[in-house]
Each structure stands twice: as structure tokens, then as C-alpha cells.
Structure 1
Amino acid sequence: MLENPERLVSVGPANPKTGFPLWYKDAAGIRLDQALSADDLNTPAVGIDENFISTRPGAPPTLPDESFYWLAEARMVTGGGVRRGRARVVLALEATFGGTGAVVDGQQIVFARIRIRIDDGVPFGVYEVTHPFGQSGELTADDRGRVFVTEDIGVAPLRFDDALSGNVAPFLKWTSGAAKGPGEPDPPAGYLGDGALAHTITGSPFGTNFVRITGTNISEGNGPRDPADPGNPNKAFTNLFTVQGRLATVVGVGLDRAAYTRDAAGNVALDVFVDSEPGQTVTVSGAGVPDTALNGNGGSYYARVNTGTTVPPSVTVTNAGDVPPSTVTGTVTDAVDVSSASYDPLTQTLTVTAVSSDAVAAPVLTVSGDDLTDNPPGPIPGITAPPATVTVSSALGGSTSRAVTGVN
């Protein structure tokens, strides 16, 4: 069985209006956004849910219960059964909702899908499918000649990085220029295909820009023969796919952390940590925070801003290079420094040393971990077995985790 070694390389920050990532990117640098508009004929959204309720500022009035960052699909007529059969291969990076499947904020998921379906083949027949991202291995039909196999990777709500482990990479796209077939159009500007027309494609890491199905009499009758073996009725073939994918024009920006330090004299400094794509123009602002440009290193950005004696409640980070500029607003917290977390098995005592970055307010700190209720920092006696990691949280919002080490 041929398995795809390629993977998507990165996912963009969350869209503050929808809670889904702004984009996904493959190793070729193709960055695609989420198709959400039913008016865009090249990226048709499906399953519009009129009951979506969101407290997100600027959220769309409706949101699809199923949409796509990218979708490629091949279909063909097949033989082998008592009736004319059909086969379908779906390759997708899909956005939907977890839990019950209802359109609920906080249940957003994105997964990479490979689906193979054969209908009305030979009962209990054995099939093998070669597609742009690999081979299926042997697939056995049921008593009605049906094969239905799905691989979905990344189905936990809000864990958008999980889809990067899927096998749908790089993004396939229509052939263009001299590589396209007779009479085939180039893809619409800004898209990988028009989402509707079956067209030759390119991008397979194996050069298998087709679907080939091998099985008893799979191309019998009206089934399309494999051009490399046209006399063989046990092979069916198509190199035509519908492709949906829109190039992302908004990079966006993500606020990782905005934490302040206040010394004993009351002087406040704000540390802002941001993620985005390399080469962006990123600034931070807020009440008492002068507009400040962040320094970038790859996709990471940082600024330290002196705000006098004012602790701003929130900050807004802006990517000025987007059109229109994209923004995200986040709460400012203190920072928690956990200098040590040690466990003495002889005395069964866990000792945690931590301090808040606010020397004036001196907020209450609590220590927690597996099977460990909230405790103040310092010696915590009566611990038979410590957690592997402790988290120290501040009443002013900051928190830090640290691994526990043993002492003799």
C-alpha cells in the first residue's frame, strides 16, 4: 500500500468572526481560506444553518454546517455488478462541527478526509484504488457489491493543528497552460478550480493525478478503461476531478499572550507575543498603549511597551498588510513565574515556588495538577504521588505550568 509522505505545513490564526482558522497552507506555499459564501460559485458553501447563534463581533448571520478549505472529487461509471455501478473518491479539507453536529460555537472542527465509495460492484469482490495521495490496499465489497471507506484525521473540536497530520497534501489544482487538456479552461483567477467542472489536475506527490480502480470486471460495459491497459476489463480509470479551493488574501494575526509586569514603584511594561505569517506589518494598540510596531522573526512577533503606571485591560493587534486590515483583541493578564516545583518522597511534600509579575497587587496564586486541588505556593504536605506537571494560576489571569522534579 502506497502512503503519502506529504503533509500540510501550517494553519492560520482563528477568524474572530467564525472561530475557524483563516487558512491552511501546503508545502508549496499555497494558502487557502474557508469557503463560506453561497454567492461564490467557485467555492459553493453547503448546508447553511439559519439557526447559528454567535456572540462573536461581526459574525455572519448564517454559517454552513459543512464547508471546505479544499475539495477534489473524482467520479466514474463502473461495471462488474448486475447493474451499472458508480465509484467516487473524495479528497477534502473540511470544516464542520463536533459534538452532536449542530452548528454550535466552540464545536468547530477541521479534518482531512479521504473517502472511497464503490456502488453495485461484485458482491464480496476485492478492489484496490490508486489515487493522487496513495493506494487503498485491498478493499472487500459487502454482499451488495458496495465499498465505503473513510479516513478522517482531525475531528476534535478546536484542535485545528490535528488536520495537518492528514494525507491530503499538497493541494491538487487544475492543470493550466500547456499542461491542460484539449478544450479545458484555466482555473479562475484566485482559485484552484471552479468547483464544478471535471478537469485534469496536477499536484500528486506520486505523479498519480488520477483514480485507477482494480477489480473483477470493474470497467465492464460502460466503465472507463485504463489508457495504459485498455484491453483489461479489470481496471477502471479517470483523470478528471472537480476541484474547489480559493487562495487566501487575508493572512490574519493571532495574539498568543499579552502580559504585563509592574514593579514596586508602579511602573508597568507590557509584553506582547503574536503569531502570523512571515513578513507582515503587525502593530499593537489599546487604552494607554501607544501604537507600537512588533518585531518579527519568521512567523513570531514581539513588542515590549511601557505604559507608565497604567495596566491596560486589553490590547488590539492589527495586521496592516491585510485588506482590510485584520485585528484581534485580547485580555491583558499578569505573568506567573514558577521558579521551581519539587517533590520530596521521604516527607511526601510538594514544594512550589512562584511569583506574579505584579509586585504591587500581589495577587493570590493557586497551584493545581492531576488529583491536586487548588493550593497556595510553598510546601504542600501529604502528597503520596505528585502530578507530573503543576499549573500556577493568578487571580489576575496569568498562569504557567512546570514539570515536577524529585529531590532526595
Structure 2
Amino acid sequence: MLNIKVNTATSLLLMMVASQSAQAALNDVDPGPYLQVNGGFAAWYQDTHGRVLDLCLSKAISSRAPGAAGAPSYMCGLLPEPGFDTTQAVNFPTNFPGEAFWFTGDASIVDAASGIDLTYISALEAAFAAEEVVEGDQVSFARIRIRVDVPTAGTYIVTHPYGVEVFEVDVAGGRAINMTRDIGIGTPKTYNGALTGDVGPFLRSVNGPYSETNPDTGLVESFIGDPNLLEEVTGSPFNTNFIRIQGPGGIDLSTKLFAVTGKLSTVALATPALVERATYSRKNGDNGVVAQQDVFLQAPPPPASASFTDSSNLSLEMTEANTTGNWYGQSSTNPTLPATLSLTVDNQLAIPNSTATTVTTPLVDLVQIHSAEYSLANSMITITASSTDETTSPTLTVTSNGDTIGTLTGSGSIKSLSTNITPIPPAQIRVESEHGGSDLEEVIIQP
């Protein structure tokens, strides 16, 4: 599900009224030391699908679109600029680009009939804080940029691989929509801020990877796309591998064609694996206890494989939804507690130099708070909650800001607590089960 972000930035032409975008989908970054050969930048970033991209400084040339004499079509999209001569060796700081990239995924829509002219940029960028190539000024950030000329005022919706943006245009014309969202810029030479950006997993050409020879080293290098071509891509965390703009008067235009940059690294890293949930439920049935163990995992999509070992040491294969990297598995074993599950992910079919990953996680019950209300009239807080373990009825304890409020009681599946709290109500309460599960809830304040 897309996460909704609300922005209130207003300009003469545009007010963004809502935005939906991805959660962070980069997994790791080169921890250093940061070497001169990379301009003092992190050598690589890894996404949650396990792909590792180097800072793209290669002089390898596209064999599919080689360019014209004196204007080679580099696989890294290197462009000449003051202080950087692409005909000379890359060298920091004497001949180094002011902007370089670990990844780019760009697209455009130009439609004369409707008056739409859209430019879309997604990038993981290396730059300098003062826009000058200076040691100690290196920064990185994840960028989403959308610029659109629109024919009329009104509401426009732009769907892209990393989210959905909603714009309210007051005055139509050139760049009536002009959004740039850069996440990660912080202390120079600290590169983990971009991990929390909106870019990732990396888009990649459905026709790649491509191999080209670096003329400076003679080595064959691999790339996730060719920035000199427009191609269909895959990799969107929402399976929206396209750009679409919808607007007033029935405007509805889209494209699946992107120009993609990214040099695959030879660094061997473990396959990403993030356990999102490992819970059990059980209740008494007509023929005994009915139980299940539910496991949710974020990991690379197929051809990767994922499995988990349940509380009885039974190995079970997990299934993936729609190439977005969300896996699920279930066991019908009634667990003996405490229990620890083991999960294994292998992505070597897609990334041969990756290594399989095994992680462990405790198996806990699922706690649900049904209500949490505080009465200002009598200073009483009333809480109801339940656990998915209906057979052993685990103790459920209520806390707030680290302080214990009390224990829920009751004979049914839903337990309750009413107690006096003064002088002020808590903003939130947490209910914790002795079997490991917990839930957090905002307290509703009543007169």
C-alpha cells in the first residue's frame, strides 16, 4: 500500500496537496573508507532487491547507440562541464564531474494535442554542497523530480514507479508543476541519509543487463540499462513501471519507456532479508487446538527463493505476491513457546555474486488494542485488547512512556482494564503480551 505524505509548500503556480511515495527501499551503503578513485564518495549502494550499483564513472560506450564522432554515448551518462573534460581520465579533484550518479531512471511525455510536456527524473546522486568539486563537500541524495507544462488549471495526478503525486495547479503554463524532492543531503561525506529517500529498488531495463568494455581498464563491465536508449523497465516497489498523468478535460497519458543508468558492482554482499512479521494464533476447535504461524518477509522477488523453518523445525517454502519483494508463508503447527523461526533467502540466480542470507526471529502472538479512552470527568482510562493466543490466555500489560498502568483482565478473548490516572492523560498506550506481541494506540480523550 502506498504511504500518503501531505505537503503544504505553495508557490505562485502550484500547491501540492498530497503525495504518495515509497518507503525507503535501499538496503545498504558502502561504509568506507572513501577513496580518491571515487572522489571521496561511497563506492556503492545496495537496494532491497539485492542489486549493488557502483558510482558510475566508467568511460564504457554503448554498443547499441554509440553516438557521433566527438560525442560518445557513455553508459554512465557522463557530460562535459566546466572543470570536467570527458576526453581525459577521471581524476579527483582535478578532473571530476560536479554531479555523478549511482542510478538514474528518467522518462518524458510530450503531447502536442493536450499541451502536456512532462519530465520525470529519479536518481541517486553524488554532488558537492557548494556545487564546486572540493574535498570535504561531498554529499549524496535520492531525488524525485517532476516538471510539467499543463494546458489548464486543475487537479493533476502523476503516477510513477516510486509513488503517486497529486498537484493542484492554480495557473497553467510552463512548469506549472515543478517538484523536486531530495532526501539525504546532510553532513558532507555521510552517505546513509539517501537510504531513507524515495528511490529504490533500482529500476532496470527488461532487456538488460548490458556488458561493455571500459576503455581505460580493458575490463568488461555490466550495466542495468543503457541511458542512450528508451526501454521498458522493472523494479517498481508498487509494480507501477510507468509514468502516467491524469488531469482536467480527460487528460490521461502514459509511457513505459525510461532511460536508465546504473553500473553493477562486483562487490559480493549478503541478500537483503527483512522480517516484517512472525506471529502465531491458536484457539480451541471441535477437534482440538487450531493453530497457524504467519510469516511476512521483505526480500528480493523471484527468481530469488525464500523459505522458513517453523517452531517444529519443519521447512516451508514462501510465496511472493507480484515481483515487488513481499513474501508470505504459513504453518499449521501449534507452537511450543518460546519459539524462534529461521528464514533463508537466496538470490544467486539473479545476482551470482550475492550470498544467501539466513535470519532468525522470535515467534510472538499478535496483540490488538480495540479501544483506549480517557475520561477527563473522572480521570479514568479504559482499555480493551486481545491476543491471538486464545488457548493459554497470556498476561497483557498496559504501559505508557515506560510506566506500567496495569494488567488487562477478563474471561473472554477480549480483556479490559479501567483505572485512575492523574494529573494528565497519556497520549499513547502500549499493550504487551507475555508471549512477545504488542500493539500501540493513541488514547481518545473524552470530556
TM-score (norm 1): 0.50
Structure with bigger strand share is 2
